[in-house]
Structure 1
């Protein structure tokens, strides 16, 4: 939950609301701050109202491509649509990705074993302690999705969500989108959770996927316009 004073009196601001299938994603001045799960059908919205002590309010509407990405509709490959870079291959469960950048999106797909207990996706540094700025673990016995970080061989506080919308014996699709403030995580084409950065993301060098999964494939692309930085354009 994001809290604090969003803006100073007399200054310009920019708020972006991105509509996904199960929530609104909200960014402020180019930074993702929170999400709001739908309580009413979003496709019945017809009007927007802006109220309060504001001046010169402008609204821009656009379509954002790539988050959440319905990767299951494209699986199994070889045919991949949209502007997606070639597949990154895993050697001994690890793929080299080099330094991460804001707006990098990673799409993972594969099949979960029928007796899978858990599987993990880890974003790793290539330092001596193999630090982990993002660790995602699917635990099927407890029906939990766990997010965490590890620095100098010490794990931090876990973030846990339940239930997880994937099942043993089925295909899965997981998307991780890097923003300046957090990782956005979508599962099977729907936004599921976010994880605020505890360690710099730009030092990530490799991604590891291990556990009870098969035929794992990963694609990397760039998602444009979320969060959308509009303040500079407004001032021109």
Structure 2
């Protein structure tokens, strides 16, 4: 069965670095580059480049370069064979050796807004038209857990995906979403509740990204009906070293399913969950690997029209 992913959801998991990822159709306002990664203990520097070509020597519209000597981040462009004037930021260096990170580069009409670990970090004004960008490149001493170019609606129906004024939803500003097909919601508060337009139709994919904070014990992803039936309960329990799947129908919980090959949920580390609804079951993938299947116990999928996420979790992105 071919599942229908949200717009732009084509993540690459654990690529070797240096790494290049094409941006099909080129970058446009409303799109973003989403990266989860880890900095090795020996790292001195790494870079993320939004380039205008796939070959060495191509123009680079945006160069993002953390440097651990002096703990600063350098921003620049490369055009016509020469680097431009550097911009530097030293305060609030967000990367730690041996630590995990998440960064989002928003393509705004006036520039790139970079957010790291859920907080605004830097705004870089365009020097090269962003529509020329057709590749994302990662180089240096860094491990990439996942990378994806999100969006592609280009500010179409439902409005742009970029935050107003370059600020980040969840940082004192209202959360923005694209209600039309596949718009991501960044850094929504928990508990999170959203309506699923049209219900859980077959072949649909739901994406949840985030992390469990240190000391966190449990969180749940619930697919519910308007009447309160819990058709699919996905419950991470670190205190039990278990991930429980179940349904609560007509006021009663059913039989728990706990079988799993490994537990990919670790406090402080980012996760990427995709839940794909098939004709007979949900297929759950975590960090790009198949995790479990769960047979439908509430078969009228169109009546399952509410998504709920609760518990000890910090959400980075929800998309469906």
With the shorter chain as reference, the TM-score category is 0.5 to 0.7
Would the aligned equivalents of 2:208 and 2:317 in 1 still touch at CA under 8 Å? yes
**For residues 207 and 248 of structure 2, what CA distance do their matches in structure 1 show?**
23
Return the TM-score normalized by structure 1.
0.59
Give the structure 1 partner of residue 128 of structure 2: none
Give 1:216 deviation, angstroms.
3.9
The SS at the match of 2:318 is: strand
Q: Which has the higher contact order (CA 8 A, sep 6+)?
A: 1
Q: CA RMSD in A?
A: 2.8
**For residues 71 and 106 of structure 1, what CA distance do their matches in structure 2 show?**
17
Counterpart of 1:85 (choices 179, 182, 196) is 182
Query: CA 1:193–1:69 in 2, change beyond 3 Å: closer, same or farther?
Result: farther
Give 1:146 deviation, angstroms.
0.8
1:137 aligns with 2:137: no
Bigger fraction of residues in strand: 2
Query: CA 1:141–1:71 in 2, change beyond 3 Å: closer, same or farther?
Result: farther
Aligned residue pairs total 157
Give the structure 1 partner of residue 80 of structure 2: none
Return the TM-score normalized by structure 2.
0.44
**For residues 125 and 134 of structure 1, what CA distance do their matches in structure 2 show?**
10
Query: CA 1:95–1:77 in 2, change beyond 3 Å: closer, same or farther?
Result: farther
Give the structure 1 partner of residue 216 of structure 2: 116
Counterpart of 1:174 (choices 273, 292, 310) is 273
Aligned pairs for 1:1-236 (under 5 A) are: 70=11, 74-75=34-35, 76-78=103-105, 80-81=149-150, 85-88=182-185, 92-98=191-197, 99-127=199-227, 130-162=228-260, 163-200=262-299, 201-220=301-320
4+ residue runs of structure 1 moved beyond 6 angstroms? Answer: none
**For residues 192 and 13 of structure 2, what CA distance do their matches in structure 1 show?**
21
Would the aligned equivalents of 2:221 and 2:234 in 1 still touch at CA under 8 Å? yes
Would the aligned equivalents of 1:69 and 1:189 in 2 still touch at CA under 8 Å? no
What are the ranges of 5 or more consecutive residues in structure 2 without an aligned counterpart?
15-33, 36-102, 107-148, 153-180
Would the aligned equivalents of 1:70 and 1:188 in 2 still touch at CA under 8 Å? no
